[in-house]
Amino acid sequence: MKRRPRFPRRAPRVRTSRLRLARSFFKRDRRDDGGPIGSPVVVGLGNPGRSYERTRHNAGYLVADELAKRHDGSWRKRKKAEAAPVSLGLNDATLLRPTTFMNNTGSAVSEYGPEDLIVVHDDLDLEAGTVRVKVGGGAGGHNGLRSVIGRVGNDFVRVRIGIGRPPAGVTVTDYVLSRMDPAVKAAIPTAADAVEFVVEHGPEAAMNRFNVRA
């Protein structure tokens, strides 16, 4: 009776979880001069123009503005965005406000890798005024996220600002483009705190800090 040839066992496949992926974000090598190779890019999502300034959909813009004020950032025009280099704690970072409209946001960030990005945006699926940190995921109907994902993939950090769902009879478009309510406005400094925490301590630590129910 012939023996069947013995084959070596395959090593079990290791699946990288979102949480493990998050641990590796922003752990940068250093240049010879001591500075980091690459730096986090904080992208505040919104629409350009005065008519959109205080709308729910521009919550991300307001967080970028808040961080610029806190860290003496000066906005400089780029081709499809305004950028403000800042120091967040011991880390250099770039604040970015796309000057494209929301559904073309991806073109303003296409030069970056997803591991560089912290995207700050409004979120219909969270109660108004709630702030949460997340890595990866889908667009959830958000045109800005859909555009970013289409250009760089979805493995970037998100700081989400809850705006709640529209009341009966109000379309999503009208709702997100309407003036934000006080709860959302009050969440802007907390979202800025979350961005700072992500940069200083990483996404996993930020999720543990900000994703706890009150």
Say how far apart CA 118 and CA 206 lie, in whole Å.
Answer: 12
pLDDT of res. 212: 83
Say how far apart CA 75 and CA 94 lie, in whole Å.
Answer: 10
Out of 57, 121, 142, 201, the active site residue is: 57
The strands making up 41-44's β-sheet, listed across from edge to edge, are: 76-77, 81-88, 91-98, 41-44, 117-123, 157-162, 131-135
CB contact set of 195 (below 8 Å; sequence gap of 6+): 42, 63, 67, 88, 118, 120, 159
pLDDT of res. 30: 38
DSSP 8-state class, residue 80: S
**pLDDT values of the chain reduced to their tens digit, one per residue, 214 residues:** 545 444 344 333 333 344 444 444 555 443 333 334 458 999 999 999 999 999 999 999 999 999 999 999 999 999 899 999 999 878 899 999 999 999 999 999 999 999 999 999 999 999 999 999 999 999 999 999 999 999 999 999 999 999 999 999 999 999 999 999 999 999 999 999 999 999 999 999 999 999 987 6
pLDDT of res. 89: 79
pLDDT of res. 5: 43
CATH topology of domain 37-210: Rossmann fold (3.40.50)
Closest by CA position to 95, among listed 114, 113, 78: 78
Domain ranges of the chain: 37-210
DSSP 8-state class, residue 30: B
Alpha-helix runs per DSSP H in 17-134 = 18-24, 59-70, 106-109
* DSSP three-state, residue 161: strand
57 in active site: yes
* DSSP three-state, residue 87: strand
pLDDT of res. 213: 73
pLDDT of res. 7: 37
Say how far apart CA 162 and CA 131 lie, in whole Å.
Answer: 6
Say how far apart CA 11 and CA 147 lie, in whole Å.
Answer: 38
CA geometry: angle at 127 spanning 146 and 176, to 5°?
Answer: 50
Integer Rg of the chain from CA: 20
Contact status, residue 64 vs residue 12, Cβ threshold 8 Å: no
